[in-house]
Amino acid sequence: SRAIGTYIPAVTPEGEADPVVSAILKGKSYRGRAYVVNAWHVTAYHPLWDEDRKNVVGALYVGVRQDNLESLRKGIADIVVGKSGYVYVLGGKGGHRGHYIISKDGIRDGEDIWDSVDADDRYFIREIIEQALRQANPPTGSPIPVDFVNYRWKNPGEDEPRKKIVAVAYFEPWDWVIGAGYYESDLMDSQYRLQAAINNMGYWTGLTAAIMVLLAVPVGTMVAGGIRNRIDSVLTSVEEILIVVDNHGRIMLLSDPAAEFLGVTPRHAVKQSFDQVVPYDQLRRKIGESLHDRKVSHRFDFDVPARKGTRIMEARTSSIQARVGGFAGMIFIIHDVTGERELDRLKSEFICTAAHELSTPLASIIGYSELLLENRDLPEETFREAATFINKKAWSLSRIVNDLLDLSRIELGREIPLEKRPCDLNDILHEAATFGRNLSRRHQFEVDVPQESIVLDCDRDKLEQALENIVGNAIKYSPDGGRIRIVGAPKVDGYQIMVEDEGIGMNASEVKHIFDKFYRADSSTTAVEGTGLGMSIVQHIVQEHQGRVWVESRPAKGTRIYIELPWPEGGTPFTRGNGQRNN
């Protein structure tokens, strides 16, 4: 009964045909930015047909003036990415191409930055806009694609430019190029990068929700979907166990290793309560406590049943802070630290043992030296016995210190320094036997080596240190005395050294760990002294000589330790055939 009309110019102020008129005349709906009644609006038009659906007789229309969307403008301006990044909007085409539509703090709104250059004199704004426009016109129902542009930027007062990353998307209905920029250095750690990405997802979702309320158009799912796809791609490449829980206790994101760890599929776990998804009692309790306490960051350990014993897992937490409303959830990154915790235990045990190992010879040295100082007229035999004991304990201290120094080099990833020169290996083996005789009178030492000299390039001091550690262990682990054999023999691949004792021996499990740092076989036997470093040092010294070391042992049957040093290129350094010499 009445006609309602509105004025739609055929041509926009930018000189382009108004898409509304074209769409309506073709009987198609139009949703997007349009110039209506002398102002830009965000609109939606739906054609009205006559009764026979042959002619378009009108259109249904809803719209909002674009310049009235101040709440949206403020929402975008308030977004912070990382430590100092922010979101901005640029014009994509036409007369406002390269102009700030929404700038940081609104100070530069309307400014033309099309010709701006970065620290390398690149027209980075042009690149951002061109990259965004290349993503225009996604298939119907697809998320708005998000891409990334990198450039270097130098702020006033900074000595060097920093790398900046911009996530760009193009919202075609308004001709908006939306950029979210941040400095790479702000988000270097992978956990913070992921947290920032998740926070960004929340920001974008909140932003698009505002658009939906204002415009009643289905933009939210498109933009949020684009960011979600980006998050999913990040999670696919994450090698850590990563779980994201919202402030209501629902699982929101899972990395592939996390899904495997929990024994679930991400599709069935997401949006479920963590109580229903997490199968481990300790972890469920810790997640609940973390959500309740809302600490910015926290660490905790928890146990997980394993086929053989228990695995110790460490979780690091980081809270997700929403821009509006405060606490939004927690990120949990989990690692298997069973080996690390065992090493910590061994290190603690080592500290106690090392303190004892150092204090015992020191106390002996102090006691005997005071005896010599206070009694100048001691019998020569007593004097020699005291001096010998002091010398023996001083060498014991020297070996411990050398082991500690070598350990520090190994822990720092450095090689044990070698000073190679031609050395007679037979002499080194005889020196090892002499060292053993000075340590113990209860053991009988036998040396079996070739009669001719065996000369190889090696570090004599380090090889003697290795053999002294082996001989020292042979003495300690055969407390009832007995025979200790030191054998040297040429083999096909090199010169082989064997040290054999008749001591308490080891089982297969102890042999497996003998080269581990701080490990002490039969550590329950408190009478057996040692730091647990000796065999680890032996292995590194031998390996630095390109050799190999291995162990054969049986409980109550004694132990054999083998070292094989390779021949130099060109064959053996001596002529075989003169047999072995024993002493």
Is the model more confident about 486 or about 110? 486
Domain boundary among 236, 265, 281: 236
> pTM for the full model?
0.40
For residues 387 and 381, give the distance between their C-alpha atoms in angstroms, rounded to a whole number. 10
pLDDT band at 190 (very low <50, low <70, confident <90, very high): very low
Q: Are residues 53 and 74 in the same domain?
A: no
Q: Are residues 103 and 212 in the same domain?
A: yes
Q: Are residues 214 and 261 in the same domain?
A: no
Mean pLDDT, residues 265-279: 87
DSSP string for 306-361: -SSSEEEEEEEEEEEEETTTEEEEEEEEEEE-HHHHHHHHHHHHHHHHHHHHHHHH
pLDDT at position 237: 53
For residues 563 and 539, give the distance between their C-alpha atoms in angstroms, rounded to a whole number. 9
Look up residue 185 and give its amino acid: S
Q: Is residue 3 part of a domain?
A: no
pLDDT at position 84: 67
Q: Is the pLDDT of residue 186 over 70?
A: no
Least confident of 12-16, 116-120, 337-341: 12-16
Q: Is the pLDDT of residue 539 over 50?
A: yes
Residue 415 burial (10 A CB sphere; 0-12, 13-18, 19+)? exposed
Q: Is residue 109 part of a domain?
A: yes
Q: Are residues 224 and 75 in the same domain?
A: yes
pLDDT band at 526 (very low <50, low <70, confident <90, very high): very low
Extract the tokens encoding 211: 């658009």
How many Å separate Cα 542 from the centre of its chain?
A: 31
- Domains contained in the chain, number: 4
Q: Are residues 574 and 435 in the same domain?
A: yes
First to last CA, the chain: 127
**Alpha-carbon torsion (493, 497, 502, 507), positive or negative:** negative
Q: Is residue 175 part of a domain?
A: yes
Q: In whole numbers, what is the pLDDT of the chain averaged over residues?
A: 76
Is the model more confident about 286 or about 27? 286
Domain boundary among 236, 268, 302: 236
pLDDT band at 352 (very low <50, low <70, confident <90, very high): low
We report the CATH number of the domain holding residue 413 as 3.30.565.10
Q: Is residue 418 part of a domain?
A: yes
Q: pLDDT tens-digit profile of 119-171?
A: 999 999 999 999 888 876 665 445 567 778 889 998 888 888 988 888 888 87
Q: Are residues 431 and 538 in the same domain?
A: yes
Neighbour tally for 137: CB within 10 Å = 9
Extract the tokens encoding 450: 């070739």
Length of the chain: 583
